[in-house]
């Protein structure tokens, strides 16, 4: 069309364009959904999705990188009632269905919480393209018997999650040393530790991956045994 300005990116070699796409959409390979002082729904590190709107060819070349080159790390409240495990406002179903690698950091530090069996985990059924799921747990430990019991029941929580994840998906437990996921879990640990007074004798820890795997093995979950296709995993909450 006369007067149309060609996209400058297309003048570059394909290999260089891909490097630019990766630097813009997957700078570290891990996207952490969090909040900041200026943005309640922040993504760290910052990425540049508007790049996809540059032109049709750029969109076609780069659209898959957000999902194939990134692990998405989400901190979720493992004690919340009357809410999905992951909020629709944070990750709508259309996005959940495209994610390939996910890290769930389960926040189990609440003093009062619902039994794990009462959690709404149906949102996990939207992970239809997932290839790898990493599960990490940040836990409150103290002399209270309820705290020890919650640690013992981690196997139940892990089983409930795995039953909703396809059997083909690779499962990893804990966070790898030096990884972005480890930084996210440690930041949560420090933040939650500050909410307890010293006299409460509470210690917040990131549970070791070997312990989590052991808890899961004890529960002997059948991965994918509770899969059920859901057209809209958030429907129940949207009509309230």
pLDDT in tens, the chain (240 residues): 455 667 888 899 999 999 999 999 999 999 998 865 566 777 888 888 888 888 899 999 998 998 999 999 999 998 888 889 999 989 999 999 999 999 999 999 887 667 888 899 999 999 999 999 999 999 988 776 556 677 888 999 999 999 999 999 999 999 999 999 999 999 999 999 999 888 888 899 999 999 999 999 998 889 999 988 888 999 888 765
Interacting residues of 167 by C-beta distance below 8 A, sequence separation 6+: 223, 224
Q: How many CB atoms sit inside 10 A of residue 27's CB?
A: 15
Instruction: Please report, for the chain, how many H helices and E strands are present, in that order.
Output: 9, 7
| Contacts with 15 (C-beta within 8 Å, 6 or more apart), sequence order | none
Q: Give me the phi and psi of 32, to 5 degrees please.
A: -105, 120
Please tell me the predicted confidence (pLDDT) of residue 36. 59
Q: What is the pLDDT of residue 199?
A: 86
Task: Report the pLDDT value the prediction gives residue 142, as an integer from 0 to 100.
Answer: 79
What ranges do the domains of the chain cover?
A: 54-220
3-class secondary structure, 205: strand
Rounded to the nearest 5 degrees, what angle is found at the Cα of 63, between the Cα atoms of 35 and 60?
155
Q: Compute how many other C-beta atoms are within 10 angstroms of the C-beta atom of residue 133.
A: 23
Q: Given this model, what pLDDT does residue 27 score?
A: 93
Tell me what pLDDT residue 70 has: 94
């Amino acid at each position: 069309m006369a007067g149309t300005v060609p996209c400058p990116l297309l003048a570059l070699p394909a290999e260089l364009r891909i490097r630019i796409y990766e630097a813009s959409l997957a700078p570290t390979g891990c996207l952490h959904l969090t909040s900041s002082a200026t943005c309640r729904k922040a993504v760290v590190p910052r990425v540049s999705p508007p790049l996809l709107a540059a032109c049709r060819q750029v969109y076609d070349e780069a659209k898959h990188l957000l999902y194939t080159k990134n692990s998405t790390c989400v901190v979720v409240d493992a004690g919340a009632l009357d809410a999905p495990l992951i909020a629709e406002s944070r990750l709508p179903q259309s996005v959940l269905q495209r994610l390939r690698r996910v890290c769930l950091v389960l926040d189990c530090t609440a003093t009062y919480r619902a039994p794990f069996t009462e959690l709404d985990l149906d949102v996990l059924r939207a992970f239809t393209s997932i290839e790898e799921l990493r599960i990490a747990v940040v836990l409150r430990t103290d002399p209270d018997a309820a705290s020890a019991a919650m640690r013992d029941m981690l196997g139940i929580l892990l089983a409930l999650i795995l039953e909703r994840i396809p059997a083909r998906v690779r499962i990893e437990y804990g966070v790898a040393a030096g990884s972005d996921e480890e930084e996210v879990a440690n930041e949560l640990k420090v933040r939650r530790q500050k909410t307890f007074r010293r006299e409460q004798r509470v210690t917040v820890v990131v549970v070791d991956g070997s312990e989590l795997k052991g808890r899961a093995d004890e529960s002997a979950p059948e991965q994918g045994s509770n899969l059920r296709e859901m057209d809209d995993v958030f429907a129940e909450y949207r009509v309230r």
